[in-house]
Structure 1
Amino acid sequence: MSGDAVQIPDDRAFINFKNECNSEEGWNSNCNKSGITIWIQILRRGESIA
């Protein structure tokens, strides 16, 4: 077990996380059928997921 401190997220951290999950920025809708949408994120060579 490491000695790193655990930080419990506050309401602001949760809101930021929720906004990031709901953001369509950088994503493309690839397929939408029967109410289910598949989103994809295309990365260029050398890029990484933020």
Structure 2
Amino acid sequence: MLFLVAALLLLGVAMGTVAHAPLPVSLVMAVVIGVWLLVFALRERRAGHR
């Protein structure tokens, strides 16, 4: 339960930050995070086969 509360608190902080940033900055950061997650997933998938 504590984990859920902490996750919701962090989500609220992140959403509040995005709401005050200009749209192009938010979009660029979303793309950067998406690429980072994609690279991470590919590395994990490749490491799982070894």
Return the index of the structure with the highest Cα Rg: 1
TM-score, scaled to structure 2: 0.36
TM-score, scaled to structure 1: 0.36
RCO comparison, higher one (Cα < 8 Å, 6+): 1
Q: Which structure carries more strand by proportion?
A: 1
